[in-house]
Structure 1
Amino acid sequence: MASYQYRNNHQYDQTRRDQHTRSSDGTASTTYSSSTGRESAATEATEPPTYSKKIVVVGDGGCGKTCLLISYSQGYFPEVWLSLPHPLPWTQTRSHGDEMLTVDKKYVPTVFENYIAYPVHSPSGKTVELALWDTAGQEEYDRLRPLSYPETDLVLVCFAVDCPNSLDNVLDKWYPEVLHFCPYTPLILVGLKTDLRHKKTCIDMLKTQGLTPVTSDQGKAVATKMNAQYMECSSKEAKGVDDIFERAILTVVSNDRRNLESPSGGGGGGRSGSGHVSKSSIPGVGIPKRKKRKCQFL
Structure 2
Amino acid sequence: MFQIKDRRKVKGGKKEKIKCVLVGDGAVGKSSLIAAYAQDTFREDYQPTAYDTFNVVVDVDDRPVCVEICDTAGQDSMSELRALCYPGTDVLMLCFSVVRPETFRSVAERWTRAVAGVNAPLVLVGTQSDLALDGRTIQALRARGEHAVTEVEARALAAKINAVYVETSAKTRRQLKDAFDAAILAGLPVISSKRPFWKKLLCLN
TM range (shorter): 0.7 to 0.9
Q: Which residue, out of 183, 187, 202, partners 1:252?
A: 187
Where do 5+ consecutive residues of structure 2 fail to align?
197-205
SS in 1 for 2:115: helix
CA contact (8 A) 1:228 1:271 kept: no
Q: Percent identity?
A: 32
User: Does 1:113 pair with 2:46?
Assistant: no
Where do 5+ consecutive residues of structure 1 fail to align?
1-7, 11-39, 81-106, 259-268, 274-298
Q: TM-score, normalised by structure 2?
A: 0.88
Structure with more of its chain in helix, by fraction: 2
Measured against aligned partners, the alpha-carbon deviations of 1:183-215 in whole angstroms (never above 9, x if no partner) come to: x31000000000011210110111111101111
SS in 2 for 1:144: helix
The Cα shift of 1:79 comes to 3.6
Q: TM-score, normalised by structure 1?
A: 0.61
Q: Which residue, out of 42, 59, 81, partners 1:77?
A: 42
Task: Report what 1:147 is aligned to.
Answer: 84
The Cα shift of 1:56 comes to 0.3
Structure showing greater Rg: 1
Closer/same/farther in 2, CA of residues 185 and 109 from structure 1, 3 Å limit: same
Task: Report what 1:168 is aligned to.
Answer: 105
> 1:164, 1:59 → 2: CA distance?
13
The Cα shift of 1:270 comes to 7.6
Closer/same/farther in 2, CA of residues 72 and 137 from structure 1, 3 Å limit: same
Q: Which residue, out of 107, 111, 126, partners 2:63?
A: 126
> 2:78, 2:42 → 1: CA distance?
25
Closer/same/farther in 2, CA of residues 130 and 59 from structure 1, 3 Å limit: same
Task: Report what 1:48 is aligned to.
Answer: 14
> 1:131, 1:213 → 2: CA distance?
31
The Cα shift of 1:48 comes to 3.4
Task: Report what 2:94 is aligned to.
Answer: 157
One-letter identity of the residue aligned with 1:135: T
User: Does 1:230 pair with 2:196?
Assistant: no
Measured against aligned partners, the alpha-carbon deviations of 1:115-169 in whole angstroms (never above 9, x if no partner) come to: 0000111xx3111110000000011111221001001000000000010000000
Task: Report what 1:208 is aligned to.
Answer: 143
SS in 1 for 2:42: coil
- Give the paired residue count: 192
Q: Post-superposition, which runs of at least 4 consecutive aligned residues in structure 1 deviate over 4 A? A: 269-273
